[in-house]
Amino acid sequence: QMRATSDKSLRLVLSTFKNLREELCHLQDDLGKLETDNILLKKDLAFKDSQVKEYETMLASLRENNRQQQQGLRDSTARCRSLEEQLLSLRLSEGDKDCQLKELEYSRRALEQEIQSLKLQVRPPLAGCSSPTLQTTTDELSSRYVEMINNLREDKDREIRSLRSQICQFQQDITRREGSNSDLQMRLHELTSLLEDKEAFIKQQQEELFRLKHEKLSGSQSPGVTAIITKKYRNQYPILGLLSDDYKVTSPVNKSQTIVIERT
């Protein structure tokens, strides 16, 4: 009877250690899977971190480019205002030149009338005498006045032509500046929209990185579609049959369960 009892105990002990060995193997497999998932998660976190740094550098570059474009736009606007002020002053000076030209025309006409009156005044006293010297002097004075008026007219005409050419040049410059300003505004709008898109993408990446770090700290599994086969054990050991005769030995594995973790 003692031999039978010892044989029974030996069989129960061997069966118990066999079940413990199987359970230890399953636990080691699960631990290996968890370590592999942890390594993959660390690699994914490092990649996301480097990607966020790259996008932050790109964002800083875009902001600097945007600042330079805005500064260039402000400079162009200031130059356009200066050109408009110069054009306005030239138009005012052209009006002044026109007024001066009209005054010179009036003075020329007044001088011509004065010359005619002087001729009329000189002719009656000298009707009976022939004085070529006086006639020559009068003609010289008249020719000098006419020449002076013609010279003044030519000078004013040259000034007017020069002012008009300058006005045309300033108008062309203003037209070019307006075209360049419109191009700068379009480029600035494109850069602004691109900057907003990059900021939104970087914000999304930062949120995802924060979520991954939180999952790492909380001990969650690696993101992605991961299938983990887990087994539940009853942890029943045959050696306990020595304590009571009604102890039933069953299989240590109760059921298998597959858990699928999907990243949204």
Q: Domains plus CATH for the chain?
A: 2-261 (1.10.287)
Nearest CA to 94 among 171, 167, 176, 147?
Answer: 167
If you search the block for the tokens 């480029």, which residue do you land on? Answer: 187
How crowded is residue 212: how many other Cβ atoms within 10 Å of its Cβ?
A: 20
For residue 181, what pLDDT is reported? Answer: 67
For residue 129, what pLDDT is reported? Answer: 47
| Segment among 26-35, 129-138, 204-213 with least mean pLDDT | 129-138
* Of 123 and 152, the one with more pLDDT: 152
**63-117 residue pLDDT tens:** 888 888 888 888 888 888 888 888 788 778 777 777 877 787 777 777 777 777 7
**21-70 residue pLDDT tens:** 999 999 999 999 999 999 999 998 889 888 888 888 888 888 888 888 88
Burial class of residue 258, CB neighbours in 10 A (0-12, 13-18, 19+)? exposed
For residue 28, what pLDDT is reported? Answer: 93
For residue 81, what pLDDT is reported? Answer: 85
**153-198 residue pLDDT tens:** 787 777 777 777 777 777 777 777 777 667 767 777 777 777 777 7
**213-222 residue pLDDT tens:** 677 666 544 4
For residue 40, what pLDDT is reported? Answer: 93
Q: How many residues does the chain have?
A: 264
For residue 25, what pLDDT is reported? Answer: 93
**229-253 residue pLDDT tens:** 455 545 555 555 555 555 455 555 4
CA–CA separation, 12 and 14 (whole Å): 6
